[in-house]
Amino acid sequence: MTTLPPPYDAAEPISTGTVADAPLVHTAVVSRTDFPMYEMPSLMDGTFSHLVPALEEVGIAPIGPAFSLHRRMPVDTADLEVGFPVDGHLTQTLTLPSGFEVRASVLPAGRVAAASHVGGYDGLAEAWGAFTAQLGEAGEQMAFPFWEFYVTAPTPDIDPATLRTDLFTLLAPRED
């Protein structure tokens, strides 16, 4: 089985249904429980636009794209972390100009399934649906958490059709 390099730096989009071993990756995150889904843009913007300079001030650097990690299936609210994989362990809490507090966390190690979605964020729910259906057809079962890497950073002038988001989920142990 393939082992993903930290933090999964795939130059090309990942084929749907790729299964690999993922290493534990240190992260710096803003964590929220029961966070309203309609407020997601403010959480993402308030974190991603301020986190890199805050990390630089304490000698830590991102080693991959921004991500969100979900601890349960989001419906009206989500239990999630948003942040960056980093090259060290954050030992203090940082407060961003947006008021969000940043702490250390990790992306878990283990057997994961991965796929890439190329297109606008409005297509992510459909991409996750197709991804999970394919996993089921392959006899795999998702486990929590699951996460998204926002490989293409959004900018005001970007064509949404070119955005790449990599999808990852831990997999339940196989009963083969």
> So where are the chain's domains?
16-171
- When pLDDT is cut at 50, 70 and 90, the band that residue 8 belongs to is low
State the average pLDDT over residues 117-132.
93
- pLDDT higher than 70, residue 5: no
What is the full DSSP assignment across the chain? -EEPPTT---SSPPPTTEEEEE--EEEEEEEEEEEEGGGHHHHHHHHHHHHHHHHHHTT--B-S--EEEESS--SSEEEEEEEEEBSS---S-EE-TTS-EEEEEEEPPEEEEEEEEES-GGGHHHHHHHHHHHHHHTT--EEEEEEEEE-SPP-TT--GGG-EEEEEEEEPPP--
Given a contact cutoff of 8 angstroms between Cβ atoms, the answer to whether 50 and 101 are in contact is no
Between these two residues, 71 and 16, which has the higher pLDDT value?
A: 71
pLDDT of residue 6: 61
pLDDT of residue 16: 74
Mean pLDDT for the chain overall: 91
Q: Which CATH superfamily is domain 16-171 in?
A: Regulatory factor, effector binding domain (3.20.80.10)
pLDDT of residue 144: 94
Question: What percent of the chain is predicted at pLDDT more than 90?
Answer: 81
